[in-house]
């Protein structure tokens, strides 16, 4: 018999500190380390699972990543069905397809990035709550605990394995929905850095910048709490030190892959409790309207947004410079903060991230993008208040970046 664990409502009150009462909802259990994917089957059996659906994509099946999971399931005697149609921005229709397959299973497994883990989470909600996934947009809307989800990330980026959100695209509305709740955290995350070893450079760079965006936006958030703060600092430090090596030497540099996976997982734990900022508000419509991969959108928006936010939280922005290894001890606060911003601009310049123009984004699209960005929930925890004109100006600056 497993003991009860409190499932608290998500708490995003602003300005948490020493004199505040706040909730901190940790992730589900985490198994971390090289080769840990081999434990999948035995852990599912330990949790009482007999039959599962695996949510993944065709590429991960083709390159043998999913077989490492299924080998473990077969060894443990766990039945499985593979759904390999998950797309980059998982849709309402994908969630519905998973639900159809998963009506008579005990658990769901998401193998991949957020594009595989998020539809698993969303389908798990529908299986126990019914209705349409559109019914559950927002925080703590669903009532019944979802079917258990096992999250196995294959990229160091989204942090979906440790967060209480599933982001699902409503193609009809060109809108990305966030469905959140503490019950929506995966029951178990199995984080095996070796699964990321064969990721190509651009994908490594984009997912890594996604993780860095989570860490930095959580760190400067107006909802930062004293528990998340050191977790996010460690995430920034790990990613800053490892992302270039993982991108360009990742096939044989196991240490960089390990640090990136750990940094991504920590970032997910941290921003679960702080929410994010307007880089995410801007990246979501880029994905919904132009299919810009989420990590690419975040990578381009992050340094531009940091420059915009710098004066609202210079202390934390200056601290980011230190976490990147820069000596700012003899600088005044704003000068040190600018170094923090410059570190991220330089990182973007060094990485193989394609510009927004490659995805068909034009200046004539900015008004619509800004309107959609204004709807983003992450706007409320951003360090600086943002108007629609601010978003328009920020998108112009992002479009002018060549990389």
Select from 153, 170, 195 the last residue of a domain: 195
* Mean pLDDT computed over 266-274: 91
E strand or H helix that includes residue 351? none
Residue 29 backbone phi and psi in degrees, to 5 = -65, 145
Q: What does the pLDDT read at residue 2?
A: 54
Residues 164 and 305 both lie in one domain: no
User: Which residues, other chains included, contact 277 with Cβ-Cβ below 8 Å and sequence gap of 6+?
Assistant: 217, 220, 221, 305, 309, 378, 379, 381, 382, 383
Do 252 and 158 belong together in one domain? no
Q: What is the pLDDT of residue 21?
A: 79
**Is 299 found in the same domain as 165?**
no
Residue 267 tokens, joined = 């970032």
Whether residue 379 is found in the same domain as residue 340: yes
Tokens (6 digits) for 302: 């992050």
Does residue 207 lie within any of the structural domains? yes
Q: Which of 51-55, 166-170, 339-343, 393-397 is predicted least confidently? A: 166-170
Domain membership of residue 275 (yes or no) is yes
The confidence score (pLDDT) of residue 4 equals 62
pLDDT of 5 higher than 70:
no
**What is the Cα–Cα distance from 32 to 70, expressed in whole angstroms?**
19
Q: Given this model, what pLDDT does residue 403 score?
A: 58
- The CATH code of the domain that includes 349 is 1.20.1090.10
Local confidence band at 1 (pLDDT 50, 70, 90 cut-offs) = very low
Residues 273 and 394 in one domain: yes
Residue 4 domain-assigned (yes or no):
no
- Which domain-ending residue is among 140, 174, 195? 195
* 57, part of any domain: yes
pLDDT for the residue 335: 97
- Residues 84-112 pLDDT 10s: 998 888 899 999 999 998 888 999 999 99
The CATH number linked to 76 is 3.40.50.1970
| Mean pLDDT value of segment 301-315 | 97
Q: Write down which residue in 173, 195, 217 finishes a domain.
A: 195
CA atoms lying within 13 Å on the CB side of residue 109: 33
On whether both 254 and 109 belong to a single domain, the answer is no
The structural domain count of the chain equals: 2
Percent of the chain with pLDDT over 90: 71
| Over residues 224-247, mean pLDDT | 96
Closest CA to 394 of 356, 348, 350: 356
Q: Helix crossing, 294-309 with 278-290: angle to 10°?
A: 150
Please give the average per-residue pLDDT across 118-130, as a whole number. Answer: 94
183 and 301 together in one domain:
no
Claim to verify: residue 255 and residue 343 sit in the same structural domain: yes
Domain extent for 330? 199-400
Regarding whether 178 and 115 lie in a shared domain, the answer is: yes
**Is residue 302 in a domain?**
yes
What ranges make up the beta strands (E) of 74-128?
Answer: 79-83, 107-112
């Amino acid at each position: 018999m497993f003991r009860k664990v409190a499932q608290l409502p998500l708490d995003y009150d602003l300005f948490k500190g020493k004199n505040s009462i706040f909730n901190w909802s940790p992730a589900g259990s985490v198994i971390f380390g090289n080769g840990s994917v081999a434990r999948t089957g035995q852990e599912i059996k330990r949790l009482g699972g007999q039959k599962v659906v695996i949510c993944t994509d065709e590429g991960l099946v083709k390159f043998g990543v999913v077989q490492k999971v299924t080998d473990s399931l077969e060894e443990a005697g766990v039945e499985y069905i593979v759904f390999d149609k998950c797309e980059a921005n998982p849709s309402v229709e994908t969630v519905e397809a998973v639900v159809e397959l998963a009506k008579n299973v005990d658990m769901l497994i998401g193998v991949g990035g957020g594009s595989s883990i998020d539809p698993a989470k969303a389908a798990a909600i529908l299986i126990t709550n019914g209705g349409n996934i559109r019914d559950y947009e927002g925080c703590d809307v669903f009532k019944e605990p979802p079917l258990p989800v096992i999250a196995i990330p294959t990229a160091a980026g989204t942090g979906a394995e440790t967060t209480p959100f599933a982001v699902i695209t409503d193609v009809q509305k060109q809108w990305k929905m966030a469905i959140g709740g503490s019950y929506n955290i995966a029951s178990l995350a199995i984080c095996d850095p070796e699964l990321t070893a064969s990721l190509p450079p651009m994908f490594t760079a984009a997912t890594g910048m996604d993780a860095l965006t989570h860490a930095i936006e959580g760190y400067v958030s107006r909802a930062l709490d004293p528990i998340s703060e050191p977790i996010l600092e460690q995430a920034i430090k790990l990613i800053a030190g490892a992302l270039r090596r993982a991108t360009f030497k990742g096939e044989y540099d196991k240490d960089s892959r390990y640090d990136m996976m750990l940094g991504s997982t920590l970032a997910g734990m941290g921003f679960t409790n702080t929410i994010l900022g307007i880089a995410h508000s801007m990246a979501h419509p880029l994905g919904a309207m132009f299919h810009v991969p989420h990590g690419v959108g975040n990578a381009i928006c992050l340094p531009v947004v940091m420059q915009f936010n710098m004066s609202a939280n210079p202390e934390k922005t200056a601290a980011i410079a230190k976490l990147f290894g820069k000596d700012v001890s003899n600088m005044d606060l704003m000068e040190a903060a600018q170094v923090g911003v410059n570190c991220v601009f330089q990182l973007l310049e060094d990485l193989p991230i394609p510009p927004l123009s490659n995805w068909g984004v034009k200046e004539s699209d900015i008004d619509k993008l800004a309107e959609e960005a204004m709807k983003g929930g992450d706007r409320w925890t951003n360090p600086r208040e943002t108007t629609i004109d601010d978003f328009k100006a920020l998108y112009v600056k992002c479009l002018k970046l060549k990389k």
